[in-house]
């Protein structure tokens, strides 16, 4: 198979750009308890790319963990470092990438593994659903052959056995006439069917962790909902954890147990989905929520409130908080030092209780927490009622 193409289990080529939208309310709790030790831990991960213009600091000190059967949503604007961090976990970054920190899977440090050990892990224990299924699949091989390759790259089984497993996976993800579809080529599938085939490829070896990088790219809302339902169903079927990467807050609200918000290559807020959506402690998170369409806002005739400005250059970050130039709460202390990701607000305040696991990187989280509507800070002055 050409190295330019390949399966989600074996490919070393990322593809695609973000897209899609889906509206839903935040989940109040998980469908079943999340317990046990983390299956995946990322500790102080940094990724930099040397260029002629300078060093691009794509990921700056990213830390998170994922428990068995948990869904962690990673959200942020394009260029915030979401996909680069996932490629580092998969070991798919180019050799020019400068990587430091720790990526621990089941107690083993992935970054200290040999390339052969990483290939054995990738696709078998940790798999990935890439952004664009059309470019992630080889157009000159049948879907069945590519699914079978994902099996045979990790197990010494005959092609007939691998194809039987491939049919079972297509059945599991809801593709009709699965046996006949094994002989079809990717271009003969619709967009939703190709995405289901990519999900089948990701779960075909019963992985412990699935990294879903914009899995609903370029799908209409109806098909997107079907694909999300399929992904959540197969997650339970194979008993896997999911790292769900997107810029769509509606999707995150529907599928994630916890949310990690990224900005300028660094986590700026993390907590349960319900708490982050109802009590954002970082102005950037509040800005994202205020710029997202909702049924309630449409009925009330409210206008969307986009965040002004543009993300900073990762080659030359502004002093202090990277979000400072776009932040309505920015002050001198924000320009003097970049806030650390920690529990906020400080103990002893009379503000509402915040979970110890709800962390934010902002010097003025107390103002957001005290506000009845944190998105009000991003409204134009004419829209703000006294």
Strand intervals (E) in 96-235: 98-105, 108-109, 126-129, 209-213
Q: What is the pLDDT of residues 102-156, one digit of tens each?
A: 999 999 999 999 999 999 999 899 999 988 777 888 999 999 999 999 999 999 9
pLDDT for residue 346: 59
Question: What does pTM read for this prediction?
Answer: 0.84
- Nearest-Å Rg of the Cα atoms of the chain is 21
Confidence class of residue 6 from pLDDT cuts 50, 70 and 90?
Answer: very low
Has residue 350 got a pLDDT over 90? Answer: no
Across 203-212, 301-310, 314-323, least confident range: 301-310
Which of the listed CATH numbers 3.40.50.1440, 3.80.30.10, 3.40.50.300, 2.40.50.100 matches domain 40-263? 3.40.50.300
Contact 208, 126 (CB under 8 A): yes
Four-residue CA torsion sign, 35, 36, 41, 44: positive
> Taking all residues of the chain, what is their mean pLDDT, rounded to a whole number?
84
Q: What is the pLDDT of residues 158-168, one digit of tens each?
A: 999 999 999 99
Using CA atoms, how far residue 279 sits from 28, 86, 88, 373, in Å, is 14, 27, 31, 9
Dist CA 337 CA 266 (whole Å): 15
pLDDT for residue 31: 37
Dist CA 180 CA 210 (whole Å): 27
Which of the two residues, 208 and 250, has the higher pLDDT score?
A: 208
pLDDT for residue 98: 96
Q: Give the residue extent of every domain in the chain.
A: 40-263, 305-383
Confidence class of residue 301 from pLDDT cuts 50, 70 and 90?
Answer: low
Contact 254, 263 (CB under 8 A): no
């Amino acid at each position: 198979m050409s190295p330019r193409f390949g399966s989600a289990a074996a490919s070393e080529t990322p593809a695609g750009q973000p897209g899609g939208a889906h509206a839903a309310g935040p989940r109040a709790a998980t469908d079943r308890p999340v317990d046990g030790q983390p299956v995946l831990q990322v500790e102080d991960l940094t990724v930099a790319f040397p260029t002629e213009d300078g060093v691009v600091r794509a990921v700056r000190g990213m830390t998170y963990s994922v428990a068995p059967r948990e869904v962690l949503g990673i959200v942020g604007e394009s260029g915030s470092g979401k996909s680069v961090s996932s490629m580092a976990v998969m070991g798919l970054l180019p050799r020019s990438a400068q990587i430091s920190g720790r990526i621990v899977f089941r107690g083993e440090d992935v970054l200290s593994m040999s390339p052969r050990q990483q290939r054995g892990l990738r696709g078998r224990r940790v798999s990935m659903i890439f952004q664009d299924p059309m470019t992630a699949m080889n157009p000159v091989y049948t879907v069945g052959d590519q699914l079978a390759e994902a099996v045979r790259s990790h197990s010494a089984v005959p092609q007939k056995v691998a194809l039987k497993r491939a049919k079972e996976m297509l059945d599991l993800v809801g593709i009709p006439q699965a046996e006949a579809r094994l002989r079809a080529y990717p271009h003969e599938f619709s967009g939703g069917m190709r995405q289901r085939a990519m999900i089948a490829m990701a779960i075909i070896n019963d992985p412990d962790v699935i990294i879903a990088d914009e899995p609903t790219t370029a799908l209409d809302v109806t098909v997107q909902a079907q694909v999300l339902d399929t992904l959540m169903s197969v997650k339970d079927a194979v008993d896997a954890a999911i790292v769900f990467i997107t810029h769509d807050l509606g999707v995150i609200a529907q599928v994630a147990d916890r949310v990690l918000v990224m900005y300028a290559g660094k986590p700026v807020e993390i907590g349960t989905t319900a708490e982050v959506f109802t009590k954002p402690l970082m102005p950037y998170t509040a800005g994202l929520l205020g710029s997202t369409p909702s049924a309630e806002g449409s009925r009330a005739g409210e206008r969307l409130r986009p965040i002004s400005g543009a993300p900073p250059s990762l080659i030359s970050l502004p002093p202090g908080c990277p979000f400072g130039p776009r932040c309505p709460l920015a002050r001198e202390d924000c320009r003097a030092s970049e806030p650390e990701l920690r529990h906020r607000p400080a103990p002893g305040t009379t503000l509402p209780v915040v979970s110890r696991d709800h962390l934010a990187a902002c010097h003025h989280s107390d103002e957001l927490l005290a506000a009845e509507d944190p998105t009000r800070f991003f409204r134009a002055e004419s829209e703000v009622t006294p």
